């Protein structure tokens, strides 16, 4: 085991010495377990990045960290006044949107850069610049670009309110010019599944290195067992719920009747 590790280390070392630039990443968790008491946690991502030694030290270098959660389908509904009542009048279905999205960089990156590199879900607030192609959307009765943009912004806003979508600058801490660390907040509302972490190193507005890894989010505990049971054996689950109701209802009446007699 140790031998393999030494070999790996040597390979990495030589790779760092001879390549123009490199990126190495570590993380403290491969798996996050959410139980009933989970109130969210900070996922630590750290690593080192080395630039081409032939380039000047003050060369423009930046890091970008992207975390993409498992995809889900959502329906976004908009209420409108209908004879004084506020009712859901319009609905748009977004398919395969990430259930969690996090984008953090060492400095604010231009939308143009993100667009060119196909990074980002939260890249623009301007309707004409939106890239809808990455999402499958059923627009229903919504036609104008302006209305579409409202829905797009509302999707991001509602997800942002649940702390599920985030775009940050200056959250990445650079330690000595080559080492970095950052804490990614994982709230308790996150969906379960496989999460992909992409770390990009940017030299002179070009992505020079990319490093990716996955981690999983799993729900555990009695609550999760009940949830799965209700989905997998709905009839049995319903019957058990019923038996519990019958037992408590019946025994409650019996106990109190005896209690009152004495």
Partner 1 sequence: MSIYLPIAEISINIYLLLSIGGAVGFLSGMFGLGGGFLMTPLLIFMGIPTNVAVATSANQIVASSISGTMGHWRQGLVDFKMGSVLLFGGFFGSIFGVWIFNKLVLIGQIETVISILYFILLVSIGTLMLIESSQVIRDRIRKTTVKKKIHYHNWAHRLPFKVRFYKSKLYISVIPPIIIGFLIGILSATMGIGGAFILIPAMIYFLGMPTSKVIGTSLFQIIFITALVTILHATTTFAVDAVLAFFLILSSVIGAQFGVIAANKLRGEEIRALLAVIVLTVAVKIALDLLLIPDDVFNISVTRTLF
Pick between residue 5 and residue 86 the one whose CB is nearest to partner 1: 86
Residue with smaller CB distance to partner 1, 30 or 37: 37
Q: What's phi and psi for 18, nearest 5 deg?
A: -100, -20
**DSSP secondary structure of 87-124:** EEEEEEEEEEEES-EEEEESSPPPHHHHHHTT--SS--
DSSP state of 199: E
Nearer Cβ to partner 1, position 26 or 249? 249
Catalog residues that contact partner 1 under the rule CB under 8 A: 36, 70-80, 84-88, 91, 93, 99, 151, 154-155, 157-159, 191-193, 223-224, 226-227, 230-231, 234-235, 237-242, 244-246, 248-250, 252-254, 256-257, 260
- Enumerate residues 6+ apart whose C-beta is below 8 A from 8: none
CB of 170 to partner 1, least distance (A): 29
In whole angstroms, the minimum distance from the beta carbon of 97 to partner 1 comes to 10
CB of 133 to partner 1, least distance (A): 20
Distance CA 103, CA 192 (A): 19
**Shortest separation between residue 147's beta carbon and partner 1, angstroms:** 12
Tokens of 228: 């799965």
| Tokens at 74, concatenated | 């959502």
Nearest to partner 1 of 8, 157 (CB atom): 157
Other CB atoms within 10 A of residue 125 CB: 12
């Amino acid at each position: 085991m140790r031998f393999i590790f030494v070999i790996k280390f040597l390979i990495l070392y030589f790779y760092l010495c001879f390549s123009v630039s490199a990126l190495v990443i570590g993380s403290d968790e491969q798996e996050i377990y959410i139980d009933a008491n989970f109130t969210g946690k900070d996922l630590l991502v750290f690593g080192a990045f080395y630039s081409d030694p032939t380039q000047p030290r003050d060369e423009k270098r930046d890091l970008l960290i992207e975390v993409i959660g498992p995809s889900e389908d959502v329906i976004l509904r908009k209420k409108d006044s209908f004879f004084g009542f506020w009712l859901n009048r319009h609905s748009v279905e977004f398919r395969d949107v990430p259930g969690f999205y996090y984008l953090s960089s060492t400095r604010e990156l231009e939308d143009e850069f993100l667009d060119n590199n196909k990074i980002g879900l939260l890249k623009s607030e301007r309707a004409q610049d939106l890239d809808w192609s990455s999402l499958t959307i059923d627009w229903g009765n919504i036609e104008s670009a302006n209305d579409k943009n409202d829905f797009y912004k509302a999707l991001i806003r509602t997800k942002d309110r649940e702390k599920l979508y985030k775009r940050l600058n200056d959250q990445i801490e650079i330690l000595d010019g080559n080492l970095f660390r950052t804490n990614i907040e994982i709230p308790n509302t996150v969906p379960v599944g496989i999460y992909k972490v992409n770390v990009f190193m940017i030299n002179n507005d070009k992505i020079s290195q990319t490093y990716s890894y996955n981690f999983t989010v799993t729900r555990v505990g009695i609550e999760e067992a009940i949830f799965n049971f209700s989905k997998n054996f709905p009839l049995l689950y319903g019957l058990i719920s019923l038996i519990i109701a019958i037992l408590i209802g019946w025994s409650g009446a019996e106990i109190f009747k005896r209690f009152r007699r004495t």
